[in-house]
Amino acid sequence: MLIRCKRKVIVKVDAYKILIKYSLPCKREAFLFNYIQIHMKQLFLPRAYRSLLDVWQTEHAIKFVKDTFQLALAAELKLRRITAPIAVAAGKGLNDNLNGKELPVRFRTRMLGGGEAEIVQSLAKWKRYALWRHHIQPGLGIYTDMNALRPDEGISNIHSIYVDQWDWEKVILPQERTVERLNTCVRRIYAALKRTEFLLSEQFPVLQAFLPDEIYFIHAEELRQLYPDKTPKEREQLIAEKHGAVFIRGIGGTLADGSIHDDRSPDYDDWSTPTEGNLDGLNGDIIVWNPVLQAAFEISSMGIRVNPEALLRQLKLRKCEERKELYFHSLLLEGKLPQTMGGGIGQSRLCMLLLHKCHIGEVQAGIWPDEIREECEKQGVFLF
């Protein structure tokens, strides 16, 4: 079925190795864009899109964004920069298994006597371990440039198998495991984002600021009740378009109708601790409205981390209690690791957003199927 539309979506369906080109009605095209983005390899090119910066201006702007934002983030959250690993020993629980389904790249190495190591997928658990080893005190934390591979990641305008992000973590006191503490941290991160956007627009006037002054807060259950007939991704779309920037709390926990907003691993973010109003969870996602893609755009997943009680509860809920025996988990259950909060902020995602780009390949050197590169070249979209 071919439906007339103003914008073009290019979809590659692996099962049949075909390239489908079609258009969508304006009011539904953003929703379908989100659906396709999750389930298929695809390319979305907004009509008449042209980059506001040439290739060398783009390179300059990428460095400006990265230099500016990481200093602003460090100042807002009191973070010190440390060096990050590209690989960790397998079988210790230090690597991030994301939602539990993505498999890391594994390899054998003589360094470990023929044992296996893994390319990191993120540093959510490693950072907490590093805070313990570095004896970081409450109120202070660390951030690092993380470079990871996620081979199971679907390819889209905003997804790549190569992931670069600022992974950050800070020590908090046990009594600071509160929604108020979480929301304060979110506001500080958003302040660093707004500062970067302003300074970038001063440096490159063609890149006009568009983010709202304040970020809106809502729990995933409240969002479900607001849009009960929508999918989680459609809810994100609607709330992001309405407010411009939103923090959705409680992602990973069971909602009142038995569903979950999105999968989360059980052993780092706390998505199960009860809070006021019977709304569980001390974690969430920062999502903004992307005016180029006309879509909700996640830039950070973060939260207060599990304490021993929350870890045991979440491992049981996800039926993976065998992880208790892993090195990282045993340190946590023995009370050796500090209480922390932390998250990841996508570097290429942030550059793509602030530089008004339509594809993440415009700000990072990635691997893309030939037909994606060819279609982008036809439309004047330069992929590194």
Q: Into how many domains does the chain fold?
A: 1
Smallest CA-to-CA distance from 14 within 369, 376, 377 is with 369
* 188 part of a folded domain: yes
* Cβ atoms within 10 Å, residue 225: 12
Based on the residue annotation, tell me whether 165 is a catalytic residue of this protein: yes
Residue 261 maps to a domain: yes
Q: What is the DSSP string of 254-272?
A: B-TTS-BSS---SSSB---
Residue 8 maps to a domain? no
Looking at 29, 42, 96, 375, which residue is catalytic?
Answer: 96
Residue type for position 133? R
CB-CB contact of 24 with 143 (8 Å): no
In a domain, 356, yes or no: yes
Single out the catalytic residue among 42, 122, 301, 339.
301
Of the candidates 297, 290, 287, 193, the residue with the CA atom closest to the CA atom of residue 245: 287
150 catalytic? Reply is yes
Burial of 56 (0-12, 13-18, 19+ CB in 10 A): exposed
Give CA 227 to chain center in angstroms. Answer: 23
In a domain, 254, yes or no: yes
Residue range of the domain that includes 71? 52-372
DSSP assignment, residue 103? P
Q: What is the pLDDT of residue 39?
A: 40
Q: Please write the tens of the pLDDT for every residue from 294-304.
A: 999 999 999 99
Q: With respect to residue 257, please indicate whether it lies within any of the assigned structural domains.
A: yes
Q: Which amino acid is at 43?
A: L
**CATH code at position 82:** 3.30.930.10
Respond yes or no: is residue 137 known to be catalytic. Answer: no
**Active-site option among 150, 177, 264, 305:** 150
pLDDT in the model for residue 105: 81
Is 285 marked active-site? yes
Looking at residue 290, what is its pLDDT? 96
Active site residue 272: no
Is the residue at 159 inside a domain? yes
* Residue 158 belongs to a domain: yes
Catalytic (active site) residue 298: yes
pLDDT digits (tens, 9 = 90+) for 31-51: 555 544 434 447 888 888 999
Q: Are 165 and 120 in contact (CB under 8 A)?
A: no
Task: Provide the whole-model pTM.
Answer: 0.86
Give the residue ranges of the chain where pLDDT is below 50.
1-28, 35-41
pLDDT at res. 225? 97
